[in-house]
Structure 1
Amino acid sequence: MQVIWKGAVSFGLVHIPVRMYKSTRENDIPLRMLHREYQEPIHYSRTCPKCEEEVPWSDIVKGYEYEEGQYVTFEKEELAELASESSREIRIMDFVDLADIDPIYFQKTYYLSPEETGQHAYRLLVEAIESTRKIGIANVTIRQKSSLAAVRVIDGVLSLVTMLYDEEILGKEQIPDLPEREKADRRELDMAKQLIDQLTGNFEPEKYRDEYKERLKKAIEDKVEGREEASRAPEEAAHGVLELMDALQASLRLLNPAGQADKGTGNKPHHSRTKSRSSRTGA
């Protein structure tokens, strides 16, 4: 794995030198933009509308528009200097319960491994987080981007999850056409809870597949082999417009054709599940 950042995790006066690695990978199928007639890739250029010439990277600066058409500019070195004070430290400010954080705040996860001089303190922090079942809330700057972050343990490995600041979360009052909250019909609510119960199990990430990517791969194979029609998404079954209660009852019959749906909301899921990976995490 390639190291993408070096610095330290600190809490109180404890300082743990660490290296940061990606924990995920892009797995999309790359599709390029082509000229339909000539089947040639389209190229983009960095063009200045004033001189109408392509601008080399060495002549590009970043700027903030404080008035229309008026900018203050920053050289790369200036931005690096602004970030330098905190860019090499993951400073834990608080420890909280993971359940207290809404998932809307989470962005991207990275793995942290210790430098040789920090291995003892690293193992200490891992064990302390696992035993207290807390996560650390920290500030971090990665590649000149400041971020809130959560420091937690995943399968015995210290990890960092970048987070949004509260000011970056849009309020629900900005969502148009939200219905007024009202009391649900008791019978409909009971059946909805029963449906949730029938679908409840442990989270098994390996069971979920990117169905669009699989169809796209098959379509690519078809076109390469010269088959006339590329693979298409399976046709959805035709359904009439069902009333809510009818839809709930039909869903329960589909999940439990043996007729157990009418025995109340305490039914066990009809399918077995294995232990979730998430249950092995330290927080």
Structure 2
Amino acid sequence: MHTMWKGAISFGLVNVPVRMFAATESKDVKFRYLHKACKTPIQYTRTCPHCDKAVEWDEIVRGFEYAPDQFVVLDKEEMESVQKKRSQTIDIVDFVELSEIDPVYYDKTYYLAPETSGLKAYRLLEQAMEETQKIAIARMVIRSSETLACVRVANGVILVETLFWPDEVRPTNELPNIQSEGNVTEQELKMAVTLIGQLATSFQPEKYVDEHRNEVLAMIERKVQNQEVATAPAATAKQDNIVDLMKALQESLKATKPAKRATRKKSS
């Protein structure tokens, strides 16, 4: 895994040196846009519609649109003056119950692994949080931006989950019809509760697979095997990559097929 951040968890007078790793990764099948006529990948350029020309990065500044077509421009020095200095600590400020945090606040999850020198402190924090059944609310800086975070323990690993700030969570009273009363009868409610009871089970994440992604990968694999491929004019010397593509596709399908079969067997 690639180390995304190095620092320490700080609570009280205790510092726990850790490294941070992304806990999740996207498995979406990514496509590139090609020119239909020649199958060349499309390029996107930064252009100014007023000057009708391409714009280099050193010609670009940041502007906040406070009214239609009205901007407050901030130069590099001004942006740097308000950016948070990079911090190397995850500062715990409170310990709370996990059930008190609505899942709507969760953003991204990261694993924290201990440095060799901090293994004892890491285990101390992990076991103390397990003992008290508490999770921590913390502040940290990622990419010069201050972030609210939740520190918790799962399967012997300390995780940090970035949280949305309270004013980033939209109020539910903005939703249409949410305040309206429905005419639910006692019999309808009883049937719904019975149905939920029949479908209730323990959460087993391995049961669930992205069937759409598997179907797309299988379709791509068939086309590669049948030589239904297009080569861009400037990429004729890179056909060896087809071997790597086939291997990647086959490994992806192999990793998900057993779970898919098990899911269907249980549902039958």
Which TM-score applies when normalising by structure 1? Answer: 0.72
CA contact (8 A) 1:139 1:147 kept: yes
Q: What is the one-letter code of the residue matched to 1:70?
A: F
Q: Does 1:15 align with 2:11?
A: no
Q: What is the one-letter code of the residue matched to 1:35?
A: H
Q: Does 1:73 align with 2:109?
A: no
Q: In the TM superposition, what is the alpha-carbon distance from 1:105 to its structure 2 partner?
A: 0.6
CA contact (8 A) 1:79 1:144 kept: no
Q: In the TM superposition, what is the alpha-carbon distance from 1:123 to its structure 2 partner?
A: 1.0
Residue equivalent to 2:44: 44
Equivalent positions of 1:1-283 (< 5 A) are: 1-66=1-66, 68-75=69-76, 78-79=79-80, 82-84=83-85, 87-178=87-178, 180-182=180-182, 184-225=184-225
Question: Secondary structure at 2:47's aligned position in 1?
Answer: coil
Q: In the superposition, relative to structure 1, how do residues 61 and 155 fare at CA in structure 2: closer, same or farther (>3 Å)? A: farther
Q: Deviations over 1:221-258 (max 9, x none)?
A: 34445599xxxxxxxxxxxxxxxxxxxxxxxxxxxxxx
Structure number with the higher helix fraction is 2
User: How many angstroms apart in 2 are the aligned matches of 1:39 and 1:76?
Assistant: 43
CA contact (8 A) 1:66 1:72 kept: no
User: How many angstroms apart in 1 are the aligned matches of 2:10 and 2:84?
Assistant: 18
User: How many angstroms apart in 2 are the aligned matches of 1:80 and 1:212?
Assistant: 47
Question: Secondary structure at 1:8's aligned position in 2?
Answer: strand
Q: How many residues align?
A: 229
CA contact (8 A) 1:97 1:133 kept: yes
User: How many angstroms apart in 2 are the aligned matches of 1:5 and 1:63?
Assistant: 29
User: How many angstroms apart in 1 are the aligned matches of 2:78 and 2:87?
Assistant: 14
Q: In the TM superposition, what is the alpha-carbon distance from 1:46 to its structure 2 partner?
A: 2.1
Aligned CA RMSD, in angstroms, stands at 2.6
Q: In the superposition, relative to structure 1, how do residues 213 and 50 fare at CA in structure 2: closer, same or farther (>3 Å)? A: same
Q: What is the one-letter code of the residue matched to 1:11?
A: F
Q: In the TM superposition, what is the alpha-carbon distance from 1:217 to its structure 2 partner?
A: 1.5
- Give the share of equivalent positions with the same residue, in percent: 44
Q: In the superposition, relative to structure 1, how do residues 27 and 92 fare at CA in structure 2: closer, same or farther (>3 Å)? A: same
User: How many angstroms apart in 1 are the aligned matches of 2:73 and 2:227?
Assistant: 56
User: How many angstroms apart in 1 are the aligned matches of 2:25 and 2:78?
Assistant: 30
CA contact (8 A) 1:80 1:144 kept: no
Q: Deviations over 1:161-203 (max 9, x none)?
A: 0111110011111112336234631111111111111111110
CA contact (8 A) 2:62 2:75 kept: yes
Q: Deviations over 1:140-175 (max 9, x none)?
A: 221123221100012111110011111001111111
Q: What is the one-letter code of the residue matched to 1:124?
A: L
User: How many angstroms apart in 2 are the aligned matches of 1:135 and 1:217?
Assistant: 40
CA contact (8 A) 2:61 2:73 kept: no
CA contact (8 A) 1:16 1:121 kept: yes
Q: What is the one-letter code of the residue matched to 1:8?
A: A
